[in-house]
Amino acid sequence: MSSAIPGLSRRALTFLQHFHDTGNVKTNDAIRALAALAQGTRLEVYRLLVQKGPEGMPASAIAQKFDLPNATLSFHLKELHQAGLVSARQDGRFIHYAAIYPAMDALVGYLTENCCGGGGCGVASESVKTSKRRSA
Per-residue pLDDT tens over the stretch 47-72: 999 999 999 999 999 999 999 999 99
Residue 112 confidence (pLDDT) above 60 = yes
**What amino acid occupies position 23?**
G
Report helix, strand or coil for 109.
helix
pLDDT given for residue 7 in this prediction? 55
- Whether the CB-CB separation of 56 and 99 falls below 8 Å is answered with yes
Q: Identify the band that residue 25 occupies on the pLDDT scale cut at 50, 70 and 90.
A: low
Per-residue pLDDT tens over the stretch 66-103: 999 999 999 999 999 999 999 999 999 999 999 999 99
Average pLDDT of every residue of the chain: 81
State the Cα–Cα distance between residues 127 and 72, nearest whole angstrom: 33
The pairing of beta strand 94-99 with beta strand 86-91: antiparallel
Percent of the chain at pLDDT > 90 equals 60
pLDDT given for residue 131 in this prediction? 47
**What amino acid occupies position 24?**
N
Ordered structural domains, the chain, with CATH: 20-135 (1.10.10.10)
- Whether the CB-CB separation of 110 and 26 falls below 8 Å is answered with yes
Report helix, strand or coil for 9.
coil
Measured from the Cβ of residue 99, the count of other Cβ atoms closer than 10 Å reads 23
pTM of the model: 0.71
Residue 15 confidence (pLDDT) above 50 = no
* Strand-by-strand arrangement of the 86-91 sheet: 57-58, 94-99, 86-91
pLDDT given for residue 37 in this prediction? 98
